Amino acid sequence: MAEKTDLRELLKPYSDKWVALSEDSSKVVGVGDTPKKALEQASSRSEKNPILTRVPEHYGTYIL
C-alpha cells in the first residue's frame, strides 16, 4: 500500500490535537485532545491500523 508522505495539508487544521491517520496516511480518521480520544474516533469509523501523531500548536523548527 503506497503511503502518503506529504502530510502538510492534512495536518494543518488540527493545531494542538492528537490526530489518527488512516493506515496509508491519506486521511484523518480521528481527532482528540488525547491519543485515546483520537483512537476511539478512528475505531468508531472501523479504521483498523490508524497511525497516531500529535499536531503541535505551532510547527516550529527542531534542533534536538
The distance of closest approach from Cβ of residue 17 to another protein in the complex, given in angstroms and rounded to an integer, is 10
The distance of closest approach from Cβ of residue 5 to another protein in the complex, given in angstroms and rounded to an integer, is 5
Q: What's the farthest any 2 CA atoms get from each other in the chain?
A: 37
Q: How far apart are CA 44 and CA 47, in angstroms?
A: 8
User: For binding to another protein (CB under 8 A), which residues are involved?
Assistant: 3, 5-8, 11-12, 18, 25, 34-36, 39, 49-56, 58-62, 64
| Residue type at position 38 | A
The distance of closest approach from Cβ of residue 16 to another protein in the complex, given in angstroms and rounded to an integer, is 10
Q: Which is nearer to another protein, 41 or 50 (by Cβ)? A: 50
Three-state DSSP state, 8: helix
Could you identify the residue written with the cell 496516511? 25
